[in-house]
Amino acid sequence: MQNEINTLLTEIKNEYYDYMTRRGKLTELSEHQQKMVEEFNNGLEVTEGKKYIKVLSNRSVWGFIMKDSDKKFRKGDILKAAGWNAPARNAARGNIIDGGYSVCWTGPHYLK
């Protein structure tokens, strides 16, 4: 599952870069913007708990990933954060193993 987590982190970084270039309208980033992208990328980290893998973005919770399946969710499901220590367990926002999910640099996308 480590490869899938790395793919998720790459997608988050790419989304932030896309945001900084105003969705491709800028061809070059200023020195300040480049520093912001670098700080954002370096601020992404993953910590592992008993049930969930927590994805942090500059010391804020980006979201959670299910470590194993339970009654409601499958291994690899992406969950929004309800708080620092707990995910919102209303619905999965995608699955890193299955792919095809949609994320933003600020967190998993809302339900449709």
Alpha-helical regions (H) of 1-112: 2-20, 31-43
Q: Is the dihedral of CA 53, 57, 61, 65 positive or negative?
A: negative
pLDDT of residue 22: 85
Summarised one tens digit per residue, pLDDT across range 1-55 is: 999 999 999 999 999 999 999 877 778 889 999 999 999 999 999 999 999 999 9
The burial class, CB within 10 Å (0-12 / 13-18 / 19+), for 4 is middle
pLDDT of residue 112: 58
Predicted TM-score (pTM) of the model is 0.92
Domain boundaries, the chain: 2-108
Complete DSSP assignment for 15-45: HHHHHHTTTTT-SS--HHHHHHHHHHHHHEE
Q: Where would I find the beta strands (DSSP E) of 44-100?
A: 44-48, 52-57, 60-66, 78-79
Does residue 111 carry a pLDDT above 90? no
Give dist(CA 37, CA 18) in Å, integer: 10
Summarised one tens digit per residue, pLDDT across range 61-110 is: 999 999 999 999 999 999 999 999 999 999 999 999 999 899 999 999 87
